[in-house]
Amino acid sequence: MKEKALLYLMKRANDKDIAKDRIIYLFRQAEQAMEKGEKSLAKKYVGLALRIGMKFQLSMPREWKRRYCKKCGVFWVPGKTVRVRSKKKEKHIVFTCLDCGAIRRYPYIKESFKNA
Ligand SMILES: [Zn+2]
C-alpha cells in the first residue's frame, strides 16, 4: 500500500501546484480587469483566488499579497483603489483602501515594490 500512499501524496502536491497557478492567473485577470475599469469583476477574481487559497491552505503569492484589500476584497491599484504612503523613518508602508477605508501597515521592504 506504500505505493498508493505515495501516489496520493503526489496527486495532492500536484493539486496544490495547479491551485497556485490558478491563484496567480486569477490575480493577473484581476489586474487586467482593473485596467479596463471593471472593478467588480476584479473583485470577483480576487475572491476566487482567496477561496482557492483557503481550500488548499495556500498563502497568497508574495507578489500579490499586498495587491488586494483583505477587508472588502477589492483589487488594489495605487492611486485608484488604494492610497500608498511609505514611511521610511518608521520603516513601514501604509495602505489605505479607497473603497472601504481599511488601513493596513506593512513593514517596509524594498523588494516588495519591485512588482507593484
Ligand atoms: Zn477595502
- Give the tens place of pLDDT for each residue, 63-93: 999 999 999 999 999 999 999 998 778 889 9
- Residues whose beta carbons lie less than 5 angstroms from ion ligand 1: 69, 71-72, 97, 99-100, 102
Contact 25, 33 (CB under 8 A): no
Higher pLDDT, 38 or 116: 38
Distance 74 CA to ligand 1 centre (A): 6
Residue 12: pLDDT over 80: no
pLDDT score at 88: 78
pLDDT score at 116: 45
pLDDT score at 115: 47
State pTM to two decimals: 0.81
Contact 47, 26 (CB under 8 A): no
First-to-last C-alpha distance (Å) of the chain: 48
- Average pLDDT over the chain, rounded to whole? 89
pLDDT score at 106: 87
Residue 45: pLDDT over 70: yes
Q: How far is CA 90 from CA 4, 46, 93, in A?
A: 53, 30, 9
Cell numbers representing residue 73 in the block = 476584497
Task: Report the half-sphere exposure of 66 (CA within 13 A, side-chain side).
Answer: 23
Distance 9 CA to ligand 1 centre (A): 37
Domains annotated on the chain, with CATH: 2-110 (1.20.5.420)
